[in-house]
Amino acid sequence: MSRLVLLALVGLLTLPFLASCDRDRIPAEYRGQIKQAARTCPDVSPQLLAAQIAQESGWDSTAVSPDGAEGLSQFMPETWTAWGTDADGDGQADPYSAEDAIKSQARLMCHLVEVARESDVPGDPIELALAAYNAGWSPVAKHEGIPPFTETTDYVAEIGDRAEKFRAEFSAKAR
């Protein structure tokens, strides 16, 4: 009995590590879609999109957050209504469709980078766009930069770190 408890405990302790490992690998089925979506604008790289998806849903296209964000790219319903697109050509924009979500994420990020560039808010436009993707543009503007919310500051930092790790997967050789 104690051996079973020990095995269960070891299993529970390794779950967060294993989940982290999964986030650090880009599933093959999404690579082409991410590369294609990254062509939406020059500011949004494939590694940035991939790092966001890893952070947002851990590559789970069926994910639903406690706040109601849906799909691979974790769109809130009202944001999806504004930015969702039918990238897979099935006649409907669906946040649970990986292709729709990834293309919509790229469109929204391109828009947020543009908003950041055109604003008077100081800071790196990519980091400001990431903060806005997480918290909305209003808090970014109000705080004149990345809002001091732990979730948002961690989000921006973790995506930056993960995007750097993913850079090699999208290098010229890997394409």
> Could you tell me the CATH number of the domain that includes residue 160?
1.10.530.10
Whether 93 is covered by a domain: the verdict is yes
Measured between alpha carbons, how far is residue 108 from residues 23, 83, 141, 175 in Å? Answer: 22, 6, 17, 24
At position 144, the amino acid (one-letter code) is E
Whether 56 is covered by a domain: the verdict is yes
Q: Which positions are catalytic?
A: 56
pLDDT in tens, the chain (175 residues): 545 444 444 444 433 433 444 778 999 999 999 999 999 999 999 999 999 999 999 999 999 999 999 999 999 999 999 999 999 999 999 999 999 999 999 999 999 999 999 999 999 999 999 999 999 999 999 999 999 999 999 999 999 999 999 999 887 544 4
Whether 109 is covered by a domain: the verdict is yes
Whether 108 is covered by a domain: the verdict is yes
Whether 97 is covered by a domain: the verdict is yes
Whether 175 is covered by a domain: the verdict is no
Torsion of CA 23, 129, 73, 39, to 10 degrees: -90
Whether 118 is covered by a domain: the verdict is yes
Task: Give me the number of domains the chain comprises.
Answer: 1
Token digits of residue 61: 């296209």
Range(s) of the domain holding residue 85: 2-170
Determine the Cα–Cα distance for residues 120 and 123; give it in Å rounded to an integer.
9
Determine the Cα–Cα distance for residues 34 and 32; give it in Å rounded to an integer.
5
Whether 159 is covered by a domain: the verdict is yes
